Amino acid sequence: MAATRLIAMHPRQGRSVAKSLGERTDYAKNPEKTEKGDLVTTYQCDPFTVDEEFMLQKRQYNQITGKSQHNDVIAYQIRQSFKPGEVTADEANRIGYELALRFTKGKYSFIVATHTDRAHIHNHVVFNSTSIDGTRKFKDFWRSGLALQKLSDLICLEHGLSVIERKPYDEREKRTKYPVKEGIRGLICQDIDEVLLKKPKDFDAFLEELKKAGYEIKAGKNVAVKSKSQKRFVRLSSLPDGFRESDIRQVLSGAAEHHKYAGKTAVQHRQRSVSLIIDIQKKCQEKGPGYQQWAKVHNVKQLAQSVYLMRERGYRTISELSARADDQIKKRDDLLASIKASEARMAEIATLRKHIINYSKTRKTYEEYRKAGYSKKFFEAHREEITLHKAAKQAFDDLGVKKIPKVKDLNTEYAELLAKKKAAYSEYRRIKEDAQELLIAKMNIESFYEADQKVSQEHQRQEKQH
């Protein structure tokens, strides 16, 4: 079970785009939250230089399109929270990576940081608003958050996790009693209660006590009061019954008894007497015989299609149908694992290819930097090139690359993997649809047998009673 949220990230007030990106990505990569950085993965960028690589893509976008980055969305963040105890941190990170890759369709660099500092494991996914090739920007389309949640639910189901069940609006629990915020007049009434407890001898003494309580008094035909929190005076004659000037005078003279302010009553909202009922039998009773007849015809058609599918495939029993469905599910899962392996290797090749190119371009600058005795002045003048060179060397070490391969060989392998993935995905979709069709047929036939058994048992019970 995972709850997701899509957040557009803007430059922070008083900070540049680069500074804002650095702060956001640094928070995501926090070693104290990510098991010392072990739970940080990236796509088409390096975790050490993710903010700088985001900026490089933005500069490339500016050069290609001529548009500048000004008070715009600099990146997007996906927050994905999991039910406590349902996933491990490594599995949550893999799910977050898959969600980001499928949501961005592999066109935007991103970083996935899994935080374990809370009771619930959660992912912080930050992806660049500018595409990797610098030709476009991500468009936050209508209901993108809902699309993200649906994709997250689909991935959770593929990984055998539960999903959040959303109830229809009419089935949700409604609040019928709302808390009431006390108004200015109510607060004045409460203070009058406190003053009257002191039993002032007359109305003038009563006003003096109100002054001591912090009220300003305006005398006249209608006495008005104002506390420090009020913007204007409030007449005593406008207060509720029992707190007007005439009422207070009667209480002070002993002609009437004072009752404390009861407070503003909460507004009661009547619940709807009729709500949407999911039970089909009750729905048929509500809709009438016409709806009931339609439901019966619909169910008979679905059952007939299920039986026809079973006979067409040559399955004589439900167990044979179930076994075939299990076989197709296994094939589907194996193909999905093959597709994911190809995607992982393709992502690795893409990362390696990018770092090889960066390494080659910045090699001369880094050699000069080394000859300069690693001068700080030289570093500041060539910070971007040196940082990319270091990131490339670090990537080679992380990937265990001892001998740098040729880009041409990597391109050939990438093309072969892409062709293999397309073929496997086509087969995966076919088997997935077939498995789903078999499972639906199995559920329809089993539900029919269960209903038939219930009817038979009910008839037997009635016969015994008679």
The pair of three-digit structure tokens given for residue 223, joined into one six-digit string: 């006495």
For residue 165, pLDDT over 80 is answered with: no
pTM of the model: 0.41
pLDDT of residue 406: 87
Q: What stretch of H or E contains 125?
A: strand 122-128
Pairing verdict, β 75-82 and 2-9: antiparallel
What does each C-alpha distance from 276 to 193, 269, 280 come to in angstroms?
A: 48, 19, 11
Instruction: Enter the tokens of residue 399.
Output: 């990937």
| Terminal CA-CA length for the chain | 51
Q: What was the pLDDT predicted at 98?
A: 95
Q: Structure tokens of 405? A: 């391969």
Q: Virtual CA dihedral for 331, 332, 337, 338, nearest 10 degrees?
A: 70
Among residues 234, 216, 215, 232, the alpha carbon closest in space to that of 224 is found at 234
**Looking at per-residue confidence, does 461 or 11 come out higher?**
11
Q: What is the mean pLDDT of residues 84-89?
A: 90
Work out the average pLDDT over 25-44: 93
Question: Is residue 301 predicted with pLDDT exceeding 90?
Answer: no
Task: Tell me phi and psi for residue 80, to 5 degrees.
Answer: -125, 110
What number is the average pLDDT over the span 202-228?
90
Question: Between β-strands 224-226 and 234-235, what pairing exists: parallel, antiparallel or unpaired?
Answer: antiparallel
- Work out the average pLDDT over 263-277: 42
Q: With contact defined as beta carbons under 8 Å apart, do 192 and 185 qualify? A: no
* Residue 114: pLDDT band with limits 50, 70, 90: very high
CB 325 within 8 A of CB 435: yes
